[in-house]
Amino acid sequence: MNLHFLDIAIILAFLAVSVIVGYWVSHRAGKSTKNYFLGGNVLPWWVLGVSNASGMFDVAGTMLLVYWLFIYGLKSVWIPWMWPVFNQIFLMVYLSGWLRRSGVTTGAEWIKFRFGENKGAQLSHIIVVVFALVGVISFFTYGFKGIGKFATEFLPWQLSADPIANANLYALILMGLTAAYVVKGGMFSVVITEVLQFTLLSIAAVAIGIIAMTSVSPAMIHAAIPAGWDNIFFGWQTGLDWSKLIPAANAKIAQDGSSLFGLLFMMLLSKGVLVAAAGPAPNYDMQRILSTRNSRDACKMSAVVNVVLNVPRYFMVAGLAILALAFYSTTINKMGAAMDFEKVLPDALFKFVPSGLLGITVAGLLAAFMSNFAATVNAAPPYIVNDIYRRFINPNASEKTCVRLSILSSLTIVVIGICIGWFITSINNVVGWITAALWGGYAAANLIKWYWWRFNGFGYFWGMISGILSALVLPFIIPEGLQAALAVDPSVPGFLRDMMTLPTALVCFPVILGTSLIGCFAGTLLTKPEEDATLKAFYKKTRPWGFWGPILKKVQAEDPSFKPNPDFVRDMFNVVVGIIWQTALVAMPVFFVIRENERALIALAIVIVTSVTLWITWMRHLDVAYPDSELDAAKAEALAAAE
């Protein structure tokens, strides 16, 4: 594929501007590690929200969304629950506020806040660092494959005769360009450039949706899709038969393990609730929360992500999917089994978006990659510097030394991520392992830590270590043919046969989760509880609801005026309303682009009703019972800095 000179000029100009702007603002990061990691906690909540959304609007994920919508139609709205996308609702409603009240810099530092400084807490501290670094490298691998596949379709230079090596070299170059400003500039560079990149990307996304709406009529869409494609609801089976239109799509559904869509949905929902209630993983999402000014801003920041991410992104996804359906199906059929559905996005862009806008769109998607990559890079150094070097090697290290070590840490993580990404072939496989296996190992310990007072550092460590080891081993030791054989063996109970049709990593999730739970309870019940002083300090500052009765009694014995958090019922109500709100935000632009205007207006009405409900039941209640302590802490911190 060859781009027009105008498109190439736009792409190169944008890359240059991103690097220059990111490097220009990087001088602020060198003042302290707090500036480098958290932007000094001075960035507005809405700016951090846009930045966080930009980091999530990544190329690899958008390529997956286009191929999911192309094949599964409106049912694809539910597939991202594997992440789970509704974790942003749990964060918005209450978990961002709980986390931000800690005042820490990293997830591992939070462990000290929760479990104290005994041996169990130290082991937990180490395992969180390990998980964080494994997670960062995994997301590097995912981004590496996505940007490589994308770049080979658009950038005009043939760097290698081998297509896989060519994609890897492009990914290497683009990661190097982004690292040029991120490594030096930390959070300030990341956030400022992400806002710039997201603005460009949103303009391109809406423009693509409009092009699709004006180029593809409803009749053309219906001629290109099987019955049920435009129905957001589903039964036990997927209910889509592509055999007369694109037979390769049926094979892809079977390969994905999504034929029994009702069972898949049940697994995604149950897994998703557990993972979402566990709170944010120690990555760039957590870093944005900790970068806000206070707990109220943290919750509002997570709310912004749901709006600014989903609406423009799904205009682009829907636009590219229906352009490909209407005009690209014949080409796909010629490719047959060789068709890579993950490349529907770049192929559709190149064929159907005019010059000029194509350059802006490609630049915007490159910006999305740069945003995601930048956020991931910036999330790693705090764990190496604060949680390893400062804690175990040099507690008295100067700020200048720590900033330099942060830069070296970023470079090291980049090199490791590139080396692993070089040998991976599929975006979907990486996503499946991260969301089902790795997060299966994370969910149990991180769920219990918020809600049960008796849970201690040893329980956390053994829950995490057993979960992570299971995630690293179990999905890769199941013989290739065993799962397929069990899926058709009549001697196996029906429900288990159905389970065997799901993706391997998702089949492993209950086993990984169960193994982790055994580690959690064994580690906790075979060791002593944490010290009362640690538990009381955590409970008073975080104010979680859950099974904290014995600690509440001890706190009230010292301070009879202390009131427990009464918001469990309201928070759960708002979570349900929020998930409906988020799902409608996703479906609405898709319905508009495919010209299902009546259903689009219904989705819009749901958005309005749920927005008003959340304003009344959530927004108006954000920390109203407890705002002064944070304001006083902020004032004290400002005075200390001035002195």
Angle CA 387–82–209, to nearest 5: 110
Residue 642 has pLDDT above 50, yes or no: no
Taking the C-alpha atoms of residue 100 and residue 288, their distance in angstroms, rounded to an integer, is 10
Long-range Cβ contact pairs of 230-236 (< 8 A, separation 24 or more): 230/73, 230/74, 230/594, 230/596, 231/73, 231/74, 231/75, 232/74, 232/75, 232/77, 232/587, 234/75, 234/78, 234/261, 234/262, 234/265, 235/261, 235/262, 236/260, 236/261, 236/262, 236/263
Q: Determine the average pLDDT of the residues in 263-287.
A: 81
Q: How high is the pLDDT of residue 39?
A: 47
The segment with the largest mean pLDDT, out of 241-255, 303-317, 599-613, is 599-613
For 138-149, write each residue's pLDDT tens digit. Answer: 777 767 777 777
The segment with the largest mean pLDDT, out of 21-25, 103-107, 110-114, 343-347, is 110-114
187, 202, 205, 199: which is closest to 374 by C-alpha?
187
495, 517, 497, 502: which is closest to 440 by C-alpha?
517
CA dihedral (280, 286, 290, 295) in degrees, to 10, reads -30
Residue 338 has pLDDT above 70, yes or no: no
Residues 313/57, Cβ–Cβ less than 8 Å? yes
Residues 383/129, Cβ–Cβ less than 8 Å? yes
Residue 137 host element (H or E): helix 119-154
Residues 61/146, Cβ–Cβ less than 8 Å? yes
- For residue 247, the Cα-to-chain-centroid distance in whole angstroms is 32
For the chain, how far is it from start to end, CA to CA, in angstroms?
Answer: 60
Residue 418 has pLDDT above 70, yes or no: yes
For 487-526, write each residue's pLDDT tens digit. Answer: 666 766 665 666 666 666 677 888 888 999 999 999 999 9
Taking the C-alpha atoms of residue 596 and residue 590, their distance in angstroms, rounded to an integer, is 9
97, 74, 36, 16: which is closest to 410 by C-alpha?
36
Q: How many CB atoms lie within 10 A of CB 266?
A: 12
Q: Is 358 helix (H, G, I), strand (E, B) or coil?
A: helix
Using the CB atoms, write b or e for 569-585: b if 16+ within 10 Å: eebeebbebbbbbbbbb
Residues 381/119, Cβ–Cβ less than 8 Å? no
The larger pLDDT score, comparing residue 533 to residue 45, is at 533
Residue 327 dihedral angles phi and psi, to the nearest 5°: -120, -5
Taking the C-alpha atoms of residue 37 and residue 290, their distance in angstroms, rounded to an integer, is 9
Sign of CA dihedral 492, 496, 500, 505: negative
Q: How high is the pLDDT of residue 531?
A: 94
Exposure on the CB side of residue 387, measured as CA atoms within 13 A: 32
Q: Would you state the structure tokens that stand for residue 164, as one six-digit string?
A: 């896989």
Residue 640 has pLDDT above 50, yes or no: no
Per-residue pLDDT band at 354 (split at 50, 70, 90): confident
The segment with the largest mean pLDDT, out of 343-347, 445-449, 481-485, 490-494, is 445-449
Q: Determine the average pLDDT of the residues in 221-241.
A: 91
Angle CA 559–560–563, to nearest 5: 95
Residue 412 dihedral angles phi and psi, to the nearest 5°: -65, -45
Q: How many CB atoms lie within 10 A of CB 214?
A: 8
Q: Is 321 exposed, middle or buried (CB count within 10 Å of its CB: 0-12, 13-18, 19+)?
A: buried
Is pTM beyond 0.85? Reply is no
Ranges of H-type helices in 328-356:
329-335, 344-352
Q: How high is the pLDDT of residue 33?
A: 46
The larger pLDDT score, comparing residue 308 to residue 217, is at 217
State the DSSP code for 518: H
Domains of the chain (ranges, CATH numbers): 5-425+565-642 (1.20.1730)
Exposure on the CB side of residue 4, measured as CA atoms within 13 A: 13
Per-residue pLDDT band at 556 (split at 50, 70, 90): very high
Angle CA 80–82–88, to nearest 5: 70
Q: How high is the pLDDT of residue 281?
A: 72
60, 203, 237, 74: which is closest to 583 by C-alpha?
74
Partners of 434 in beta bridges: none
Q: Is 154 exposed, middle or buried (CB count within 10 Å of its CB: 0-12, 13-18, 19+)?
A: buried
Q: Is 559 helix (H, G, I), strand (E, B) or coil?
A: coil
